[in-house]
Structure 1
Amino acid sequence: MDTAVTDATRTVFSRLTEWFSRSWESAAEADMIASLDDSTIRSIAHDCGISPDQLIELAKAGPHAADEMVVMMRALNIDPSEVELRLRNEFRDMQITCSHCASKSECRKDLARGTAAETFAHYCGNAESLNALRANPDFLIA
């Protein structure tokens, strides 16, 4: 069998496996949150600084719903660890925005192509915040 075909098959298989795994994680997280009583959900949401509805939405979106945000920050030469450390609430709000984004496909493609820094402002719900962070040398990758 042709090696290129075998490699392509493995790549497609690994992507499907990863997708199923993420879907399973998302469902398990949502089920766990749904099994909690209202008081516990309110308490957890309060501790996170979000509403109970946002907590449930985030659980449904899954644990990787905002992964693109950190990758985008790095593509823009922003240090995500520094932002999270110094601007915890803003970082959380940006994660929430990212988790609800309808442009994830475009974002992922631009990140993969290395063109995200030039194009993100056209579709990213966090563009204004990201541009403000890029303008502040305290948050740039050294």
Structure 2
Amino acid sequence: MASNGDLIWVKAASGWRDHPFPAAALRGASTKGVRVMTTLQDLRRTISRYVDGGRKRRQLRRELAQLAAMGSLDAVLSDVGLARSQVEPLIAGCTGSRELMDQMLARLGIDPAQLPIEVLRDMTWTCTTCPDKRKCRVWLAEAEGTDFHSFCPNAAQLDQALQNQHQVGA
């Protein structure tokens, strides 16, 4: 038995099932079961993110191959400001990068609509090619983390955006 908010997870022969259950009934319940379920939920999210990422990468590869077959790939890449040498890093880091950056901006109170498009594009590229998105996800999951400087390659741009936004608001 484990809990998640107002749900209680019950181990049945066919696997874990969630059932509505009053939170008060969980008082005195084993925290070991809750810890195990949290770990299992984290594992499930990680596997799901990995599978979804693989799907997105395969879809992007197919679309780029179709553009190359039609002879349009270079024109499309030029339109979005990319070179062929940037395609593989783009594919490798495409999954979840924009979502992480959007969450980071929201957490810091930065309005992306107020950023110059070039800055936003550069920050998105930096996030896409970041080798350590795990630290970002952990930081975003924390309730009160404020120091992103130790891991984020966009730290200087984020500081500049915060400074510019405070100057506009003053």
Same fold by TM-score, threshold 0.5 exceeded? yes
CA distance in 1, matches of 2:65, 2:48: 26
* Structure 2 residue ranges without an equivalent (≥5): 3-7, 11-15, 19-36
How far the C-alpha of 1:18 sits from its partner, in A, is 4.1
| Count of aligned residue pairs for this structure pair | 137
1:37 aligns with 2:65: no
How far the C-alpha of 1:123 sits from its partner, in A, is 1.5
The letter of the residue matching 1:110 is: W
Q: Which residue does the alignment assign to 1:134?
A: 162
1:20 aligns with 2:48: no
| Helix, strand or coil at the partner of 2:126 | helix
Give per-residue Cα distances to partners, 1:5-64, cap 9 Å, x unaligned: 645388344553343123212222123213432852211111001222224431343353
Q: How does 1:42-121 map to 2 (within 5 A)?
A: 42-83=74-115, 87-116=116-145, 118-121=146-149
* Structure 1 residue ranges without an equivalent (≥5): none
Please identify, of 57-66 and 72-81, the stretch whose mean Cα deviation from structure 2 is larger: 57-66
Of Structure 1 and Structure 2, the greater strand share is in: 2
Report the identity percentage: 24
Of Structure 1 and Structure 2, the greater helix share is in: 1
Could you state the TM-score of these two structures normalised by the residue count of structure 2? 0.66
| Helix, strand or coil at the partner of 1:102 | coil
CA distance in 2, matches of 1:59, 1:105: 18
Could you state the TM-score of these two structures normalised by the residue count of structure 1? 0.77
Taking structure 1 as reference, are residues 4 and 67 closer, same or farther at Cα in structure 2, changes over 3 Å only?
Answer: same
* Relative contact order higher in (CA < 8 Å, ≥ 6 apart): 1
Taking structure 1 as reference, are residues 75 and 14 closer, same or farther at Cα in structure 2, changes over 3 Å only?
Answer: closer
